[in-house]
Chains A and B, each alone.
Chain A
Amino acid sequence: NAGVTQTPKFQVLKTGQSMTLQCAQDMNHEYMSWYRQDPGMGLRLIHYSVGAGITDQGEVPNGYNVSRSTTEDFPLRLLSAAPSQTSVYFCASRITLGSQPQHFGDGTRLSIL
C-alpha cells in the first residue's frame, strides 16, 4: 500500500514555464487536496476535491489549476511559474466519512528562478 505518492520530488523551473505536479493515492479516498509550505510557515490550502469531477479553491488558489478526472489522481498545474511560487507542495487525501485523518505525501520541492 503506497499511500499518497507525489512526483517529482524536486524540480527547478524558469519564470514563465509551465509544469504539472502529480499526486496519486491508492486508498480509494474521495477527498484530495494540495497545500504549499513556505519556509518556517505552516501549510496553506491551494485547492481541494471531494470526488472525481469536483474541485474547489482553498486559501491561496491564484496561479494554480487542478482537475480530478479519476478518484486516484489529483494533478496541480502551474501555467506560468513565478518566483513567488517557490515552495514545498504537499498533496493529501482522506475518506469523507466521520472525522478521519488526512494522509500526506512526502512533498515536491519546487524552485522557480
Chain B
Amino acid sequence: DAKTTQPNSMESNEEEPVHLPCNHSTISGTDYIHWYRQLPSQGPEYVIHGLTSNVNNRMASLAIAEDRKSSTLILHRATLRDAAVYYCILRDGSKVDSSYKLIFGSGTRLLVRP
C-alpha cells in the first residue's frame, strides 16, 4: 500500500483557514485520497475524498496536486470543534478486497486557539 506523510501537529487560530498537507509520492493511478478526522474520545469521522480533481463539501475542500503526489485538506474557517487528529489515507480503488482496508498513519493533530 502506498504510504502518506503528514506533519505531527499544526496550530491555527479560530475562524482562520487551515491547510493540512499530505505527501504521497508513491501514489498509484487508482489510489483515492481519503481524509478522516478523529475528535477526542470519538471514532474517526469521514471528511472528504478525491481521485484527481479538487473536491468541496460542507466540511472542507480537498486540493490535489497535478502530479497527485501531494494533497491539502482545507478547512475554510476553523472552529474549536475542528480540533482533532486528521488522517490522510490512500485507498486502492482497483482491487475489491484491498479497497476496503483503511491503513491509518499517526495523522496530524490540529490545535485551534480561541
Residues of A within 8 A of B (CB): 4, 31, 33, 35, 40-45, 48, 50, 56, 58, 90, 92, 94, 96, 99, 101-107
Contacts and interface: CB of A to CB of B under 8 A. Distances in A.
Contact of A105 (B43, B49, B91, B104): B43
Contacts of A105: 43
A48 B104 contact: no
Contacts of A48: 100-101
B24 interface: no
Interface in B85-100: 87, 91, 93, 96-97, 99-100
A102 B99 contact: no
Contacts of A107: 41-43
Q: Is the interface of B mostly helix, strand, loop or mixed?
A: loop
Interface residues of B, number: 25
Interface of B: 32, 34, 36, 41-46, 49, 51, 87, 91, 93, 96-97, 99-107
Contacts of A104: 43-45
A43 B93 contact: no
A101 B34 contact: yes
A90 B45 CA distance: 12
A44 to B, nearest CB: 7
A99 B102 contact: no
Contacts of B36: 101-102
Interface hub of A56, A92, A94, A101 (most chain B Cβ within 10 A): A101
Contacts of A101: 34, 36, 46, 49
